[in-house]
Amino acid sequence: MLITGEFIDAQTAKQQGLINRVASADQLDAVLQNLVDAIVQQLSMSLPDAYDFAKDVMVDNMMVKDVIEGIDAFIDKRPAVWTGC
């Protein structure tokens, strides 16, 4: 995109791993509020609690099938096969 200047739609950006969520206009406020709530929750924690919370989130994220596929594809030096899961 940087070199060609071509635009892509949100679904394509998600499929390519450039963004992690897409929301329709009618769901945007709810999706945004969930994100804000997660940020505020962590900001209100003590530093040790915030690190523990972040650690748990990172561990949970590492169990997502597409994350595992991405890591395996990188190690195997092959293109990843994304499923959206």
Question: Is pLDDT at 39 greater than 90 in this prediction?
Answer: no
CA angle 73, 62, 11 (to 5 degrees): 70
Nearest alpha-carbon partner for 66 in 55, 81, 54, 51 = 81
Q: What is the pLDDT of residues 52-72, one digit of tens each?
A: 999 998 999 888 998 999 999
User: Are the C-beta atoms of residues 19 and 10 closer than 8 Å to each other?
Assistant: yes
**Distance (Å, rounded) from C-alpha 20 to C-alpha 66?**
12
Question: Is the pTM value of this prediction over 0.75?
Answer: no
pLDDT confidence tier of residue 82, bands split at 50, 70 and 90 = confident
Ordered structural domains, the chain, with CATH: 7-44 (no CATH), 46-85 (1.10.12.10)
Question: Is pLDDT at 26 greater than 90 in this prediction?
Answer: yes
